[in-house]
């Protein structure tokens, strides 16, 4: 019979489960909390049933560690080291760890793994949507996309606990996350805007340089400098646009990935920022590993950049830290991910400051979208476009670029209307 001891309002249940290899007694215990809505007689009966069921689990070897382990203990000592570190990519691992530490551990970290119920999780998700988080002294609500992403991390975590037989069921299965928001359409250039942007990359611009300030606040010297967009950044934007490459894919390129004879770029890795710094990692999925042919104009620019880089490398000597990277800092180390993004925004702002007709302030990733929308408008088949982008399948391409395909569909309808309209009557 289990040993039952009253502690305050609760009951401590202990079951003797034999001896371990060192001869020490094995004792399993748990706590029974009476239901205040029930009578003493009902709670006594419930306690007896609970104690017998607990004893049966212990003696049959079916007692799950989730009944003794807190959620925080499970995450930190089991799931992260035994699953996440081994199965997830570096960036995915960081995102999952952050989601658990930021939201779920503060909320249910002290609860036993087996005690976490669907209602607990539902309340957390609802709170994320209504109260959100605090940043710079202001409250910010989580987007439904973020909530669904956090929920997916927790569900994966609990599913693995079921697989390891720590708990019997995943409580996330009975939770309804908020419906996903419609993804905002990523802005892209039109054909004319893309042509304008590429032409502007060749235009010089003036920068006013100032020397040290005097005590009265005026500059001791002031002069104008004529500058151009650095060649490697020009190459970066050309490759983004003509190849549809992701930023991380371009940043990870080495000269070994370039075949000038065939005009081909091989993608097999990516660079991303994590809490440990910027790292080189594998691509998003197996289909992301691909070879992409670039037009002659783009390859000629790349060749010019290679020649310039070699000259500079010889000029600076040992200052250059050779990593064989295409895109580098001035010492040869890999280019920081923020550099091409910041420069891209500045170029667009500089253009808009001097022109009546403005370029849309798209993101750097918008160049990839521009590449795709232009290919779709040029009637290139979706299968070829999908392979060029490194998508897992054509459905991904169709989902992301549905707006561009819809436009093509509308154009097709107009074409058929012109071909088959009532004024177009076939005669024998």
The answer to whether the 94-174 and 191-413 domains have the same CATH topology is no
User: Beta strands of 154-218 (E only): which ranges?
Assistant: 205-210
What does the pLDDT average to over 5-28? 81
- Among residues 178, 92, 96, the alpha carbon closest in space to that of 141 is found at 178
- Among residues 182, 184, 228, 239, the alpha carbon closest in space to that of 206 is found at 228
Could you please state the CATH topology (level 3) that the domain comprising 94-174 is classified under. Answer: DNA polymerase; domain 1 (1.10.150)
What does the pLDDT average to over 224-229? 90
SS3 content of the chain, % helix, strand, coil (to 5): 50, 15, 30
Supply the mean pLDDT for the chain: 86
- The answer on pLDDT for 74 being more than 70 is yes
Q: Label residue 218 by pLDDT band (50, 70, 90).
A: low
Percentage of the chain lying above the pLDDT 70 cut: 86
pLDDT, tens only, 377-400: 888 888 888 888 888 777 767 676
What is the architecture of the domain spanning 191-413? Orthogonal Bundle (1.10)
Most confident of 173-177, 288-292, 316-320: 316-320
pLDDT for the residue 408: 59
Q: Which residues contact 188 (CB under 8 A, 6 or more apart)?
A: 362, 366, 367, 369, 370, 372, 373
Burial category of 14 from C-beta neighbours within 10 Å (exposed 0-12, middle 13-18, buried 19 and up): middle
pLDDT for the residue 404: 62
- Range with the lowest mean pLDDT among 60-74, 112-126, 339-353? 60-74
What does the pLDDT average to over 322-330? 95
pLDDT for the residue 410: 64
Please report how many Cα atoms fall inside a 13 Å half-sphere around the Cα of residue 297, on the Cβ side: 8
What does the pLDDT average to over 281-294? 80
Which has more confidence, 330 or 416? 330
Q: Label residue 283 by pLDDT band (50, 70, 90).
A: confident
- The answer on pLDDT for 274 being more than 90 is no
Which has more confidence, 397 or 254? 254
**DSSP letter, residue 110:** T
- What are the residue boundaries of the structural domains of the chain, listed by start? 3-63, 94-174, 191-413
pLDDT for the residue 115: 92
- The answer on pLDDT for 72 being more than 90 is yes
pLDDT for the residue 167: 87
CB atoms within 10 A of CB 324: 11
pLDDT for the residue 76: 92
pLDDT for the residue 428: 46
């Amino acid at each position: 019979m289990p040993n039952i001891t009253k502690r305050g309002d609760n009951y401590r249940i202990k079951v003797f489960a034999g001896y371990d290899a060192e001869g020490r007694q094995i004792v399993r215990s748990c706590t029974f909390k009476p239901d205040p809505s029930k009578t003493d007689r009902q709670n006594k009966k419930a306690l007896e049933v609970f104690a017998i069921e607990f004893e049966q689990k212990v003696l049959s070897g079916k007692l799950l560690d989730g009944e003794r382990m807190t959620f925080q203990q499970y995450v930190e000592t089991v799931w992260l080291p035994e699953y996440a570190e081994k199965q997830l990519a570096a960036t995915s691992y960081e995102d999952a760890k952050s989601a658990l530490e930021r939201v779920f551990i503060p909320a249910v970290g002290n609860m036993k793994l087996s005690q976490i119920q669907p209602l607990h999780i539902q309340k957390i998700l609802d709170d994320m949507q209504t109260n959100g988080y605090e940043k710079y002294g202001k409250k910010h609500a989580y987007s439904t996309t973020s909530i669904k992403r956090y929920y997916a991390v927790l569900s994966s975590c609990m599913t693995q606990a079921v697989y390891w037989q720590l708990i019997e069921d995943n409580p996330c299965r009975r939770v309804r996350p908020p419906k996903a928001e419609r993804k905002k359409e990523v802005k892209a250039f039109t054909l004319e805007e893309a042509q304008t942007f590429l032409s502007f990359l060749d235009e010089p611009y003036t920068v006013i340089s100032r020397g040290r300030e005097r005590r009265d606040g005026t500059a001791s010297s002031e002069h104008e400098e004529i500058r151009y967009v650095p060649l490697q950044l020009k190459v970066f934007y050309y490759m983004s646009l003509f190849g549809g490459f992701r930023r991380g894919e371009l940043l990870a390129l080495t000269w070994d990935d370039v075949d000038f004879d065939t005009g081909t770029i091989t993608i097999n890795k990516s660079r991303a920022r994590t809490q440990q710094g910027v790292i080189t990692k594998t691509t998003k999925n197996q289909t992301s590993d691909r070879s992409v042919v670039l037009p002659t104009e783009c390859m000629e620019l790349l060749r010019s950049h290679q020649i310039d880089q070699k000259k500079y490398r010889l000029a600076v000597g040992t200052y250059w830290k050779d990593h064989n990277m295409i895109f580098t800092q001035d010492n040869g180390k890999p280019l920081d991910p923020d550099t091409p993004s910041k420069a891209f925004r500045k170029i667009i702002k500089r253009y808009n400051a001097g022109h009546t007709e403005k370029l849309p302030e798209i993101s750097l990733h918008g160049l990839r979208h521009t590449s795709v929308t232009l290919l779709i408008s040029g009637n290139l088949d979706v299968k070829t476009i999908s392979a060029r982008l490194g998508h897992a399948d054509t459905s991904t391409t169709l989902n992301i670029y549905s707006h561009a395909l819809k436009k093509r569909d509308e154009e097709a309808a107009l074409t058929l209307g012109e071909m088959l309209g009532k004024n177009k009557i076939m005669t024998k």
